[in-house]
Amino acid sequence: MQVSFLYYEDCPSYDLALERLREVMAEEGIAAEVEVIKVETEERARELRFIGSPTIRVYGQDIDPPGDYHYALTCRAYHLDDGRISPLPPRDMIRRALRSPAKSQPG
Amino acid sequence: MAKLKPGDKAVHFELPGVDDRSHALADYADREAVAVIFTCNHCPYARAWEDRLIGIQADFDARGVQLVAICSNDANKYPDDSLPRMKERSEDKGFNFPYLYDESQEIARTYGAERTPEIFLFDKGGTLRYHGTVDDNYDDPAAVKNHYLREALEAVLAGQQPPNAETAPVGCTIKWK
């Protein structure tokens, strides 16, 4: 499985998000390496289609496909099921993406 | 690090608000405590704490506490932080405190704010009594153990020193021009 984790260092919870991703992968029995990519410039953000930190992709597909595409060095908001906003992707969202990689896999 | 430190005096500002009126810090001189909060629309940390700030204003309003939110981000790079979008956000969320636009970023620079949200709590005499974050859990309001701002407000209203005069602000960096 191809899993990538893109982050911007100024967003303080990226380490927690990466830890959460690895925990969910372990719970799901997925031994794949996570490709960790540090995004440091606006130019790189555009190249990587990076809309905010943290971004998790499974086979290149965003686990929470964005509604708009403003590429920037910024922190990303995730919408929780109860309506709250969090800087951390919820575990269930990560789990769903990992469980249906075929659906996520492009092409 | 913030330029203002606990014990320092507040710095005057006068900024336009989402209500199309001008708001000056001096407008709140009759309040027992004023919390100046640098925040913005787009940052998930700021948004995660919005409801809690609304709750704090509601809970402490009758005791003379005033929250004043200021957005200083560069709206050219972050269009969600423009004044029109601030107006939408304030209305959608039902902000019960002024939400001001620091377009020149001068006030954020003067205060030395670096993050959103970042709080500067002043007592009635305009002395900074608390600087930092809202509480210790942006992700889960039910899991908060340390309600820093609430504890600081209780202390200031009682004429005492807050138990923590300073905590590390947690959030997005202010987006400078």
DSSP chain B: --S--TTPBPPP-EEEBTTSSEEEGGGGTTSSEEEEEEE-SS-HHHHHHHHHHHHHHHHHGGGTEEEEEEE-S-TTT-GGGSHHHHHHHHHHHT-SS-EEE-TT-HHHHHHT--EESEEEEEETTSBEEEEE-S-S-SS-GGG----HHHHHHHHHHTTS--S-SB----SEEP---
What are the boundaries of each domain within chain A? 3-99
| More reliable by pLDDT, B36 or A101 | B36
Contact B172 A74 (CB under 8 A): yes
Per-chain mean pLDDT for chain A: 91
What is B14-173's CATH superfamily? Glutaredoxin (3.40.30.10)
Span A56-67, average pLDDT? 92
Query: Chain B residues with CB inside 8 Å of A86's CB?
Result: 44, 48, 138-139
- Residue A73 near residue A2 (C-beta atoms within 8 A): no
Nearest-Cα distance to chain B for A95, in Å, is 18
Per-chain mean pLDDT for chain B: 96
What are the boundaries of each domain within chain B? 14-173
CA angle, residues B143, A51, A4, in degrees to nearest 5: 80
- Which of B172, B174, B176, B177 should be substituted to probe chain A, the one whose Cβ sees the most A Cβ atoms within 10 Å? B172
| Regions of chain B with pLDDT less than 70 | 1-2
Nearest-Cα distance to chain A for B170, in Å, is 7
Contact A87 B138 (CB under 8 A): yes
Residue-wise pLDDT for B105-127, tens only, equals: 999 999 999 999 999 999 999 99
Q: Is the pLDDT of residue A69 over 90?
A: no
Nearest CA in chain B to A16: B139
Q: Which pLDDT band holds residue A67 (cuts at 50, 70, 90)? A: confident
Complex ipTM, two decimals?
A: 0.83
Residue-wise pLDDT for A11-37, tens only, equals: 999 999 999 999 999 999 999 999 999
Query: Chain B residues with CB inside 8 Å of A74's CB?
Result: 42-43, 78, 172, 175
Single pTM value for the model: 0.91
Q: Which pLDDT band holds residue A105 (cuts at 50, 70, 90)? A: low
